Amino acid sequence: TFTPSAELLERHSVAATDLSTREAHGDNSNRKETMNVTQTLSLTRPEREKKYGIDAVDSLVWKGWGPGGDYERKLTLTNTSPAIIKIKYKLPKTKYFFMEFPKWVQLSPGMSKTFSVNFRPVKSEEYHDFIVIETDTHGCFAVKVMALLPHLRLRTPSAIDMKYCPVRETTSVDFSLSNTGDVETDFHWEVLGPFEITPSSGRILVGESKTLRLSFRPETAAAYDCRAVCHAEEGIKYSVTVSGIAKYPFLAIEGDNKIDFGEVMTGHRSEKFVLLTNRAEVRSSYKVARVENDVAPVYTVRPTAGVLQPGETMKLKVLYHPVAIGTYSNDTFHITTPGGNDLLFSCVGRAFGPKVTVNKTVVDLDDVVTGKTARESITLHNHSRVPAEFAIVDSVTPFKFDTVAGVIPPLLP
């Protein structure tokens, strides 16, 4: 029977303690090294190049792969520093990524070295790992390797705010639905009124972007807020917060709502304006129409429809063109808006004809021998700015006129 001495037991205890301490320190050192390397994954490519003197891609990505295949990617490392750098890589821990046995490689300034990285999967699973690149001068950094499965992924805005909108009018805004994933999909939208999305359904291909339209037509003045949900295949949903504030329009006529054209000569036109202002925080559509249409119009308003933005003033041109001498015309026009803000204005005017005088009221031919002809002239004067038509009623008498009808030019003496 062997009984160890106290000295041997003490030495063995010390050795075991020393080994445990070294292993613990080794594990801590490995964990610390791994932690430091993974922190380099957050560096941008220029930052990594500046720090380590080596240029490399941020990641190697495999897509469209299947179990049992062999898929190769190339990793190129370039020395962008002014000094010679030795490099060596460490293989990813995932056993499905393969590289040649690592060894030190010397890179002169400006030189590159390309390595093959093979991915040989046996399961349809995603893999995320990294390759450690070790330099002899600046430490280690990592390059990500990722084998991704096809993903269904759509991109939509997180929120759409329609801001202030008029009541009983449609306000629309376009937005994009993009397929940033790896598979095409059908989609359809669900949204509560007064919001509507068109087209509400369809199919979107990989890499495609579709322009959709969100419409908002509130019936009452209030604040509206809801979620529009886009349903894709595989039960995937995307939501967009849509909102808007509905307000009533407020149009006003600046100045008097009665337009008096005074006296206007028949055949002539007179022009005046009605100033229409939008005093609301929302745009407003409007239409202008005659209240009564039982007689032929002598007033014309242009434009008869339009849209006024908040704070905008529009000139409505009103033309008066009388057609009958001595008439008094009174017409009322109605300005209507979808939001119920209605206005009235009226137009009045009187028509008169041209002023014509004759230089004689009595024509005396004195004594005339039977069978002979005596002549005397009369002159018609037009004192107006427009031509004047005339006609002489020639009765059955010995008196005849050589001109019984015609036009008198304006302002003749």
- Nearest Cα neighbor of 324 from 259, 260, 264 is 264
Lowest mean pLDDT among 64-68, 272-276, 341-345, 390-394: 390-394
Is the CB of residue 385 less than 8 Å from the CB of residue 265?
A: yes
Is the domain spanning 154-247 CATH 2.60.40.10? The answer is yes
Q: Percentage of residues in the chain with pLDDT exceeding 90?
A: 60
Say if 16-147 and 251-352 have the same CATH topology. yes
The pLDDT value given to residue 12? 37
Using pLDDT thresholds of 50, 70 and 90, give the confidence band for residue 24. very low
- Sheet arrangement for strand 201-204: 159-166, 237-247, 223-232, 185-190, 201-204
Q: How many residues appear in the chain?
A: 413
Angle, alpha carbons 80-85-88 (nearest 5°): 110
**Position of tokens 């008196």?**
399
pLDDT tier at 213 (50, 70, 90 boundaries)? very high
- Rounded Cα distance, 282 and 31, in Å: 63
Fold of 251-352: Immunoglobulin-like (2.60.40)
Which pTM value belongs to this model?
A: 0.60
Residue 224, number of CB atoms within 10 A of its CB: 18
* Superfamily of domain 16-147, CATH level 4: Immunoglobulins (2.60.40.10)
The average pLDDT across 32-56 equals 82
In the chain, what are the domain boundaries?
16-147, 154-247, 251-352, 356-413
Token pair of 386, please?
């427009």
Check pLDDT > 60 for residue 310: yes
pLDDT in tens, 102-139: 999 999 999 999 999 999 999 888 899 999 999 998 88
Mean pLDDT (whole number) for 223-238: 93
Q: Give which of 155, 175, 165 is closest to 243, Cα–Cα.
A: 165
Task: Evaluate whether 246 touches 221 at the Cβ level (below 8 Å).
Answer: yes
Distance CA 212, CA 201 (A): 10
Question: Quick one: average pLDDT of 229-255?
Answer: 93
390 vs 51 pLDDT, higher one: 51
CA distance 201 to 193: 17
